Structure 1
Amino acid sequence: MSSILLVTSSPRGAESLSTKIATEFVDKLTKQNPGSTVVHRDLGKSPIAHLDTITTAAIRKPADARNPEEAAAAAESDKLVAELFAADTIVLATGLINFNMYSTLKSWIDNVARAGQTFRYTAEGPQGLVTGKKVYVVLSAGGIYSEGPAVSMNHAIPYLKTVLGFMGMTEVEVIYVEGTGMGPEAAQKAIAAAQARTEELAMAA
């Protein structure tokens, strides 16, 4: 039995294409692997608070050195880290907003990218500790950012690959749902292409 962690970040609810494609993809994965468990973090509906002075202090201290307020703040981050480690497969979904991902997804990353837990520094350099996992990133965008002149404006995918790799997750597959702002026909083609790609990936998983 495998465990899937689905992290969606769009605030657009039912209108979100990144959430739609990612959720459909997880459904396809579970059909291919009956008995799989799914944990869904809907950051658009229930965002994680951005790091503040209390949380930042809490996650830098040993558990026995935290005051009650810091302990409560660290508990949420600890839960997110535990979910990450428990998953065999991670599916992250975001729209491209102002050339990057939603800040809700960035906040999730800030809570799980923790020295001593998901990565560590060694004499040979940093070492990722979250290994042996497959990550799929679903990115929706109104324009075309996977190729062509706007590639350099896509800061979401390079960043995600960098920070995931830093934590040890180097096997990352990107599923684009792009060109959706170029008219209804282009949007339908983008959705169909993404659905076909997720079907291929689910079959190969």
Structure 2
Amino acid sequence: MNILHLDSSIAAQASASHQLSRQIVDGLTHQHPAAQVRYRDLVAEPVPHLTGAIAAGFRGTAPAGEGDATVASEHARSEALVREFLDSQLIVIGVPMYNFSVPSQLKAWMDRIAQPGRTFRYTAEGPVGLAGGRRIVLASTRGGMYSVGNAAGMDFQEAYLRAYFGFLGITDVHVVRAERLTKGAELREQSLTAAGVAAQAVVAAVLAG
């Protein structure tokens, strides 16, 4: 099993999403010692945001022989990122909710792997995902309560990620969620403890599948 492990929190090792994603990966590798893990901290080593010149490299619109060394380097980065993604059977993502959505650092990575002809294609009947057969585990953290209640309509984090990976053909998405993390130490601890239990259940489900 090849596992791609991504973190995207600006809080680094103090991050709850880091903690949860690490629990998940540690649980997987404990049960599956032969698993190969590729780790990326998208904040410590950020992927530059998409530009027209960078996108042209994987959309087949870059004029032959044009572009400077920096653009060529970014084209190579795009290729490395999509190849790394396609070589993985399981992708574990530590993702906090920022302003109701995902960190921009994660969005930059997502923009690089959504490549026509590699992870999706357009047909006369509409887009078709090409990356099916993979599984996603989201270590999702939120300061408030967004899974239910009045704020549920502002969840553009998990809902967006499900839609995005679904577009790429991946519908096997598991979520380990910790909410109310900014609502006091007691609620934070309760939520992280419950998420740790949920992480064990997800690891068992992933390995059983």
Q: Map 1:67-106 onto structure 2 (within 5 A).
A: 67=66, 69=69, 70-106=71-107
List per-residue Cα deviations over 1:16-35 (Å, max 9, x = no partner).
Answer: 00011001110001111121
Q: 1:150 maps to which residue?
A: 151
Q: 2:191 maps to which residue?
A: 190
> What is the TM-score when the length of structure 1 is the normalising length?
0.95
Contact 1:120–1:126 under 8 Å retained in 2:
yes
Instruction: Specify every segment of 5 or more residues in structure 2 that has no aligned partner in the other structure, as ranges.
Output: none
Cα distance in 1, alignment partners of residues 63 and 6 from structure 2: 30
Q: What secondary structure sits across from 1:59 in the alignment? A: helix
Cα distance in 2, alignment partners of residues 150 and 7 from structure 1: 27
Aligned-partner residue type, residue 20 of structure 1 = Q
Contact 1:22–1:138 under 8 Å retained in 2:
yes
**Structure 1 runs, 4 residues or longer, greater than 4 Å off:** none
> What is the TM-score when the length of structure 2 is the normalising length?
0.93
Cα distance in 1, alignment partners of residues 198 and 64 from structure 2: 48
Cα distance in 2, alignment partners of residues 201 and 114 from structure 1: 29
How far 1:14 moved relative to its partner?
1.3
How far 1:203 moved relative to its partner?
1.9
Cα distance in 2, alignment partners of residues 98 and 113 from structure 1: 23
Judging changes above 3 Å, is the alpha-carbon distance between structure 1 residues 189 and 103 closer, same or farther for their aligned structure 2 residues? same
Q: 1:23 maps to which residue?
A: 22
Q: 1:123 maps to which residue?
A: 124
List per-residue Cα deviations over 1:51-74 (Å, max 9, x = no partner).
Answer: 123212222227882535343221
Contact 2:119–2:131 under 8 Å retained in 1:
yes
Instruction: Specify every segment of 5 or more residues in structure 1 that has no aligned partner in the other structure, as ranges.
Output: none
Judging changes above 3 Å, is the alpha-carbon distance between structure 1 residues 43 and 34 closer, same or farther for their aligned structure 2 residues? same
Q: What secondary structure sits across from 1:19 in the alignment? A: helix
